[in-house]
Amino acid sequence: MLPISNEMKDMPRVFWALISAAILAAVAISIIIYKFDPYKSNTLVFALLFISCFIFISGLTIPAAYFYDLNRGLIEANELFWASIKRGLILSLTPTMILLLQTLHVLTWWNGLVLILIAVIVDIYFRK
């Protein structure tokens, strides 16, 4: 059995905070969708929607990336945590930007493909 450091014991607390933030963001997204008309809403409502979407997706992808790398056998807790933070933020920023482009009516399939390609390149760059 692998020895568990103190950093590894503290990680689930951080992930519970991220998951609870994701749940609150999901509630905020549902309130925004049901309470506001997109044709009559102002910029603040759309900004709150995009921020909530970003928090929701990052609150799910950061723990998922951490446990995926942990199951692959990467043990160093501090490096693994920061690598999963980077990967989760990149993975959550991409669909948020695609949603923003769709809202501005400038999204085409090649714009989305370029955003995904940029996200993959940035993710590869930050890997060690």
pLDDT for 25-76, tens place per residue?
999 999 999 999 888 888 899 999 999 999 999 999 998 888 888 787 766 7
pLDDT, averaged across the chain: 86
pTM (2 d.p.): 0.83
Tokens of 69: 């790398």
DSSP state of 128: -
Q: How many CB atoms lie within 10 A of CB 71?
A: 8
C-alpha to C-alpha distance for 29 and 93, rounded to whole angstroms: 16
What lies within 8 Å, CB to CB, of 111 at 6+ separation is 101
pLDDT value of position 23: 95
pLDDT digits (tens, 9 = 90+) for 75-114: 676 678 888 889 999 999 999 999 999 999 999 999 999 9
What lies within 8 Å, CB to CB, of 7 at 6+ separation is 77, 78, 81
